[in-house]
Homo-oligomer: A and B are copies of this chain.
């Protein structure tokens, strides 16, 4: 069962409770840290583990974890929200290429040091200029994957 002390502590601080359902949902997410889960996918798997879990609770939990910064919520344009664990041990922070032809999502993490450094500088500059406390960011490139680009001739 999922037992991340950082998350647990964080919840306690906020007066929240670490319930079975929340642990199961975190478990589901942590088993495939590279996957872009829809709420329904999470519900189906969690429900298989514990059939008493309801759909509404999955939504509530995903919303909570997003607010806590434990997971990140994405919109890839297919009409449903997608979720990913933010602290996936290996994958860590990354961005996405979104194919508008077939919906394929490509993760990419290969930042150069230069890129990382520039992002940090940009964030700092924006924070100061707009008095805006930045918590996280999303970068998505839209276009056509190789398959979709080829078949278009």
Question: What number of A residues sit within 8 Å (CB to CB) of B?
Answer: 35
B142 touches A136 (CB 8 A): yes
B144 touches A132 (CB 8 A): yes
**A106 neighbours in B (Cβ, 8 Å):** 130, 132
**A118 neighbours in B (Cβ, 8 Å):** 114-115, 118
Chain A interface (Cβ < 8 Å from any Cβ of B): 67, 73, 75, 77, 97, 99-100, 106, 108, 110, 114-115, 118, 122-123, 126, 129-146, 149
Copies of this protein chain in the complex: 2
Known: A77-B73, A97-B130, A106-B130. A138 touches B142 (CB 8 A): yes
B141 touches A134 (CB 8 A): yes
Give the distance to chain B from A95, nearest Cβ to Cβ, in Å.
Answer: 9
